Amino acid sequence: MAKYVFVTGGVTSSLGKGIIAASLAKLLQARGFRVTIQKFDPYINVDPGTLNPYEHGECYVTEDGAETDLDLGHYERFLNIHTSQANNVTTGRIYQTVINKEREGAYLGKTVQVVPHITDEIKRRIQLLGQSGDYDIVITEIGGTVGDIESLPFIEAIRQLQWELPEENICVIHLTLIPYLRAAKELKTKPTQHSVKMMSENGVHPDIIVCRTEEPLTNDLKRKIALFCNVKPNAVIEAMDASSIYEVPLEMLREKLDVTCLNKLNISGYKEPDLEKWKLFLDKIKYPKSKITIGLIGKYIELQDAYKSILESFIHAGAINEVKVVIQNIHSEFITPENVSEKLQGLDGMLVAPGFGERGIEGKILAIQYARENNIPFFGICLGMQMSVIEYARNVLGIEDAHSTEMKKNAAHPVINMMEEQKKIKMMGGTMRLGSYPCEIKSDTLAYKIYEKNHITERHRHRYEFNNDYLEQFNENGMIASGINPSTGLVEIVEVPSHSFFIGVQYHPELKSTVENPAPLFVAFVAAAKVFNEKRVVQKVAATAIS
Ligand code: GLN
């Protein structure tokens, strides 16, 4: 029977529940347990797929095509496992299930209520992965902050589970903030006391309190929190701000979060954690041998969470290349023919980001042209790939009005077109081409050199595609399709062999990059940018010597 750990949040949002949950899972995994994490989100959207990145950051996509919260990305990157639709449940999905059942008549004339029907459905979903027999421990992160109206049914479901299951099968961790008042030079525990009190009023008492803090907690302070919040002193865990999220598992190990949790679950006889590979990775990100600058060209750059998986993939790829990847965020909306070279000239590589809609696309096209003409390593993902196709059509093939039908419905030359199966679709939620699909890579191409195999699978999230009516024209004029979906013929990868590194992919390689298995495309792109940077340095030195 699986055991259940819950992670709730108090005082404010954005305390990093996902990272704490993933770090705990990492430690338990390193001690030999079979662990998974799931996230329960209290909003009414059925999934975050219809949410603007400004609202909710990146929408993460799993192998099975679920559009999920970005915390699932952290889970996969830390644990090197695949998650699925079952790992992310929202209030919307819970209600949808209950309402559908009510319409089917499944409640036999009963009044359908939050308690017990909604809470029953929450409990069923909480235990779904645990009952599969695949896991020893299931960690459930509850989104939002304790005290929110919308979190209440979830807290109530935990209360009922605590009552139904043996005590040693549940551990509740409450992540809270201990603010530091600079003027008073003091850490304050009152908000945490209130937050724990509020939880207790709802019938759930935390077993462990993890305290986010900018300053170290003294033993006295830990004792005070323990006393007022009614937990054992060793169950107050300090979580100082870390320089990298990948440091947090080691910090939690030092604070014994995992051991305290295992004790509560009455599990003994576990082994010392095997974190050798993890530590090696950390050393590499802490002590890089050189530095490169990559331009991230997108329209959501004010909000770092919008490109979370891309940024993390660069950290993984940087570590393996022993180089620090400095990301320069460049807003595509503000790139003009006049300023393009000034904005992009210092870059060692350029990644044009995924996205939707018209805003900022002409800037992306200008940036791609600059990268192509100046032999700067270029990597386009999804919309970034589509824009590279439009750029090539306009500036090399001479098709001046080449466009995507996403931006121009009746384009005379729709080199990017809506996928046939998408044309009938009316509902927006969960209807894109989503999840993992195979791709056949042609030998003797850059893509083959990168993946070192012909058959790969990658994850997708799009409605538009390369228009194969133009394929021959592209192939004959220097942009080739090096990766194709074997059953539909859909172009998955384009590249320009005459360029040092120019590749665009319809899929999202960033979604499969983990600490243990960095995405090959990112590794190769960073390596190409490193070579470009070294050449630039040599050229600069030579130029200075001449002058
Ligand atoms: N908007 C494009 C499409 O739907 C690209 C999507 C993306 O970048 N994820 O095809």
User: How many helices (H) and strands (E) in the chain?
Assistant: 18, 23
Taking phi over 0 as left and psi of -120 to 50 as alpha, with beta for the rest, 143 belongs to beta
Question: Which ligand 1 atom is nearest residue 464's CA?
Answer: 10
Pairing assessment for the beta strands 502-505 and 491-495 based on DSSP bridges: antiparallel
Residue 283: other Cβ atoms inside 10 A: 11
Q: Find the 253 Cα to ligand 1 centroid distance in Å.
A: 40
d(CA 63, CA 511): 9
The tokens for 27 are 């430690």
> Would you write out the chain's pLDDT as a tens digit for each of its 547 residues?
899 999 999 999 889 999 999 999 999 999 999 999 999 999 999 988 888 888 889 999 999 999 999 999 999 999 999 999 999 999 999 999 999 999 999 999 999 999 999 999 999 999 999 999 999 999 999 999 999 999 999 999 999 999 999 999 999 999 999 999 999 999 999 999 999 999 999 999 999 999 999 999 999 999 999 999 999 999 999 999 999 999 999 999 999 999 999 999 999 999 999 999 999 999 999 999 999 999 999 999 888 899 999 999 999 999 999 999 999 999 999 999 999 999 999 999 999 999 999 999 999 999 999 999 999 999 999 999 999 999 999 999 999 999 999 999 999 999 999 998 999 998 888 899 999 999 999 999 999 999 999 999 999 999 999 999 999 999 999 999 999 999 999 999 999 999 999 999 999 999 999 999 999 999 999 999 999 999 988 887 888 877 7
Question: Which ligand 1 atom is nearest residue 382's CA?
Answer: 8
The tokens for 28 are 């338990």
d(CA 239, CA 257): 10
d(CA 6, CA 210): 12
95: which residues sit within 8 A by CB, 6+ positions away?
A: 44, 118
Q: Find the 461 Cα to ligand 1 centroid distance in Å.
A: 7
Write out the H or E segment, with its range, that includes residue 523: helix 520-546
- The predicted pLDDT at position 538 comes to 85
- The predicted pLDDT at position 539 comes to 83
Residue 7, classed as helix, strand or coil, is strand
- The predicted pLDDT at position 215 comes to 95
Degrees, nearest 5: CA angle 265-270-273: 110
- CB hemisphere CA count around 65 (13 angstroms): 10
Degrees, nearest 5: CA angle 466-471-473: 130
Burial class (CB in 10 A: 0-12, 13-18, 19+), 276: exposed
- CB hemisphere CA count around 185 (13 angstroms): 0
φ, ψ of residue 401 to 5 degrees: the values are -100, 25
Residue among 297, 418, 461 whose CB has most ligand 1 atoms within 8 A, to mutate? 461
Residue among 309, 431, 463 whose CB has most ligand 1 atoms within 8 A, to mutate? 463
Nearest to 519 by CA among 380, 350, 312: 312
Q: What is the DSSP letter of 232?
A: -
Contact between 179 and 191 under an 8 Å Cβ cutoff? The reply is yes
In which residue are the tokens 């909003």 written?
43
Pairing assessment for the beta strands 480-484 and 186-187 based on DSSP bridges: unpaired
Helices (H), ranges, 202-352: 219-229, 248-254, 257-264, 276-286, 308-321, 340-344
Contact between 352 and 384 under an 8 Å Cβ cutoff? The reply is yes
Active site residues: 382, 508, 510
Write out the H or E segment, with its range, that includes residue 292: strand 290-298
CB of 355 closer than 6 A to ligand 1? yes
Q: What is the dihedral of CA 124, 129, 130, 134, to 10 degrees?
A: 160
The reply to whether the predicted model has a pTM over 0.75 is yes
The DSSP result for 344-363, as a single string, is HTT-SEEEEPP--SSTTHHH
d(CA 145, CA 12): 6
d(CA 195, CA 9): 9
The tokens for 260 are 């305290």
- CB hemisphere CA count around 167 (13 angstroms): 5
Nearest CA to ligand 1 atom 3: 462
Q: Find the 381 Cα to ligand 1 centroid distance in Å.
A: 9
Q: Find the 462 Cα to ligand 1 centroid distance in Å.
A: 4
Nearest to 366 by CA among 322, 402, 325, 334: 334
CB of 43 closer than 6 A to ligand 1? no
CB of 419 closer than 6 A to ligand 1? no
404: which residues sit within 8 A by CB, 6+ positions away?
A: 386, 390, 411, 414, 415, 416, 417, 464
185: which residues sit within 8 A by CB, 6+ positions away?
A: none
Q: Find the 353 Cα to ligand 1 centroid distance in Å.
A: 10
Amino acid at 200: S
Nearest CA to ligand 1 atom 8: 354
Contact between 158 and 204 under an 8 Å Cβ cutoff? The reply is yes
CA distances from 532 to 143, 160, 285, 289, 427 (A): 43, 59, 21, 16, 45
Sign of the alpha-carbon torsion through 537, 538, 542, 545: positive
- CB hemisphere CA count around 257 (13 angstroms): 27
End-to-end CA distance of the chain: give it in Å, rounded: 74
Residue among 407, 462, 506 whose CB has most ligand 1 atoms within 8 A, to mutate? 462
Q: What is the dihedral of CA 24, 26, 28, 31, to 10 degrees?
A: -140
Question: Which ligand 1 atom is nearest residue 355's CA?
Answer: 8
- The predicted pLDDT at position 427 comes to 87
d(CA 504, CA 449): 15
β-strand partners of 402: 413
